């Protein structure tokens, strides 16, 4: 198969949701329909199993497959589908933000009873920022929930995006009968099965057919006809170009647990979802069709068993063809590396690969060469624009419990923050370390791993900060004055950029008013465009 055809057959997307919306179940059913697994439960049973870290894994298991199999790939109708699973728990939101930089589109899972929740809104902010195409799957229609029209209104209101239903539910809860595929104009009724694909699909090409009444009853049939007519009158026809530009989100209804509506979603996804897209670099846009290989690291995962120190760097391929045992340039450290055992992820199995193409995500065994955001290239050296750090919500100062273990603590906190477990800020004088996270759970993770992997023990002392703000300016003099006046609130991030730790919303607002030529950024995304450095 030609290089261009390999690119065109790939679809790489992330599944995002508020916790408990059914993301893991939908992931399983997509794998089930794709033939990657034969029965549901295979994904959930693949949670990390390591007896040496059983206590800590009680915390870590909350992430489920998001740790063990962050990438799952399968073939469906001659399309190579790469699923990047994301943690639902808000304490691991930054993992999700980083993963979204590696996908070309997103499926957003909504619980029909809960509707749009806070974590969903935050995730959509990132998608809007990057103009990532989004498909919405409203899940758990086999349970009692809210009216479909109310859910659509809430999606548009809270997520600031237009929607277009492409399937429509028949009943809800105990009366749920199936879904009408508005995109193709036919009806699919499934005999629900929690573990296997239903053997018989009943298709009715004409919604007005009296055969519909025979299958679901006259009352349900008439209600479906009225609702579909109303939907077609209220919502514009789907323009694929608007979906691809992130302006309109197609919506599907179903029950992932009982296989309702999943195949409609999957079939439409491979039809309209974007092919692998290029990425911006400091040398301009890098296109997937470029001959020379390039890619970037968006996630690093270390084996949590202290007996094995291997780390895997997850690399999104942007251009060219990746080949095993070929030397590539590590742009940040300016040295050549080759990889004897590059890994692909097929459902729950890992396998060594010889080659991979744009859109693919591969695992590279890492001895400490990589940090998040690093670039590998085959041709001239360049850097993909960095994966942003978002302002943490909780700040604590790291204190060493054993001065004899200072080197171990230093090494450990540097490596863990390279992995993205948390953000590290350095405060002078004294080289004091302030750790920022989006959730309390990360501090438990850091303490455990410092103790068991680096033989270093620490204590975290809470600090009263509101936001970490990166800064750009049109006036070097005003910036210098600000850094002088606010010296006690200035720290450095891992790249050496000064960061303002604002203690309250009022103090941040005051700084913005007093120093109008400084822009305060709540994400390091500004470094993609223009830094004052």
Q: What is the DSSP string of 429-497?
A: TTTEEEEEESSTHHHHHHHHHHHHHH---EEEEEE---EEEEEEES-HHHHHHHHHHTGGGEEE-TTS-
Q: What pLDDT does 532 receive?
A: 33
Residue 154: C-alpha distances to residues 95, 131, 160, 176, 253 (Å): 26, 20, 9, 22, 15
Q: What pLDDT does 319 receive?
A: 96
Cis amide linkage into residue 79, ω under 30° from 0: no
Q: What pLDDT does 93 receive?
A: 65
Mind spelling out the 3-state secondary structure of 154-194?
HHHHHHCCEEEECEEEECCHHHCCEEEECCCCEEEECCCCC
Query: Do 3-48+60-272 and 279-377 have matching folds?
Result: yes
Q: What pLDDT does 435 receive?
A: 96
Residues in the chain: 533
Q: 186: Cβ–Cβ under 8 A, 6 or more apart, which residues?
A: 180, 203, 204, 205
Locate 528 and state its tokens.
Answer: 């993609």
Q: What pLDDT does 92 receive?
A: 62
CA distance 441 to 437: 9
Mind spelling out the 3-state secondary structure of 215-247?
HHCHHHHHHHHHHHHHHHHHCCCCCHHHHHCCC
Q: What pLDDT does 186 receive?
A: 76
CA distance 118 to 470: 25
Question: 21: how many CB neighbours lie within 10 A of its CB?
Answer: 28
Q: What pLDDT does 115 receive?
A: 93
Contact between residue 486 and residue 500 where contact means Cβ atoms under 8 Å apart? yes
The CATH superfamily assigned to 279-377 is P-loop containing nucleotide triphosphate hydrolases (3.40.50.300)
Mean pLDDT by 10 residues, the chain (533 residues): 90 88 84 70 44 37 45 87 76 74 94 89 84 95 92 95 94 85 75 53 73 86 92 93 96 88 90 95 93 92 58 92 95 92 71 92 88 90 81 93 93 86 91 90 87 91 94 92 95 91 94 94 62 33
Q: What pLDDT does 84 receive?
A: 87
* CATH 3.40.50.1860 holds for 394-528: no
Of the candidates 77, 81, 60, the residue with the CA atom closest to the CA atom of residue 14: 81
The domains of the chain are located at 3-48+60-272, 279-377, 394-528
Question: 349: how many CB neighbours lie within 10 A of its CB?
Answer: 11
Q: What is the DSSP letter of 385?
A: P
Beta bridge partners of 335: 330
- Judging by DSSP bridges, how do beta strands 134-139 and 162-165 pair with one another? unpaired
Q: What pLDDT does 305 receive?
A: 46
* CATH 3.90.550.10 holds for 3-48+60-272: no
């Amino acid at each position: 198969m030609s290089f261009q055809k390999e690119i065109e057959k790939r679809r790489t997307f992330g599944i995002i949701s508020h916790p408990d919306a059914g993301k893991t179940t939908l992931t399983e059913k997509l794998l089930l329909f794709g033939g990657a697994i034969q029965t549901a439960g295979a994904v959930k049973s693949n949670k990390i199993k390591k007896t040496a870290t059983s206590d800590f894994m009680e915390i870590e298991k909350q992430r489920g497959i998001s740790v063990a199999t962050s990438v799952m790939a399968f073939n469906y109708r001659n399309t190579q589908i790469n699923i990047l699973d994301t943690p639902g728990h808000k304490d691991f939101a930054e993992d999700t933000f980083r993963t979204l930089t590696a996908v070309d589109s997103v499926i957003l899972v909504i619980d029909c009873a809960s509707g749009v929740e806070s974590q969903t809104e935050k995730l959509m902010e990132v998608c809007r920022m990057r103009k990532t195409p989004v498909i919405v799957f409203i899940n758990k229609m086999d349970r009692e929930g809210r009216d479909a029209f109310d859910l659509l209104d809430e999606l548009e209101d809270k997520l600031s995006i237009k929607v277009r239903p492409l399937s429509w539910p028949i009943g809800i809860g105990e009366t749920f009968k199936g879904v009408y595929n508005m995109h193709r104009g036919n009806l699919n009724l499934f005999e629900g099965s929690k573990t296997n694909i239903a053997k018989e699909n009943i298709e009715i090409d004409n919604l007005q057919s009296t055969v519909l009444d025979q299958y679901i009853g006259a009352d349900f049939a008439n209600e479906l006809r009225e609702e579909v007519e109303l939907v077609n009158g209220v919502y514009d026809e789907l323009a694929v170009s608007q979906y691809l530009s992130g302006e309109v989100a197609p919506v599907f209804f179903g029950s992932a647990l009982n296989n309702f509506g999943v195949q409609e979603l999957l079939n439409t996804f491979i039809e309209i979802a974007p092919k692998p897209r290029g990425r911006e670099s400091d040398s301009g846009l890098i296109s997937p069709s470029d001959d020379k290989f390039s890619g970037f690291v968006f996630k690093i995962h270390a084996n949590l068993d202290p007996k094995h120190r291997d780390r895997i760097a997850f690399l999104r391929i942007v251009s060219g063809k990746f080949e095993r045992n070929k030397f590539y340039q590590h742009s940040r450290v300016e040295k050549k590396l080759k990889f004897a055992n590059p890994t692909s992820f097929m459902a729950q199995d890992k396998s060594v690969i010889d080659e991979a193409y744009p859109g693919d995500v591969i695992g590279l065994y890492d001895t400490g060469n990589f940090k998040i955001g690093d670039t590998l290239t085959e041709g001239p050296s360049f850097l993909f624009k960095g994966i942003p750090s978002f302002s943490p919500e909780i700040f604590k100062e790291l204190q060493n419990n054993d001065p004899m273990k200072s080197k171990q603590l230093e090494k450990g906190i540097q490596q863990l923050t390279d992995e993205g477990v948390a953000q590290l800020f350095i405060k002078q004088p004294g080289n004091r370390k302030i750790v920022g996270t989006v959730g309390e759970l990360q501090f438990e993770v850091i303490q455990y791993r410092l103790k068991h992997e680096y033989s270093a023990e620490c204590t975290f002392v809470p600090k009263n900060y509101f936001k970490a703000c990166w800064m750009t300016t049109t006036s070097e003099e005003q910036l210098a004055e600000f850094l002088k006046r606010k010296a006690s609130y200035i720290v450095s991030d891992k790249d050496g950029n000064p960061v303002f730790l604002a203690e309250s919303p009022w103090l941040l607002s005051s700084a913005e008013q007093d120093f109008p030529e400084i822009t305060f950024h709540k994400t390091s995304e500004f470094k993609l465009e223009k830094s004052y450095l």
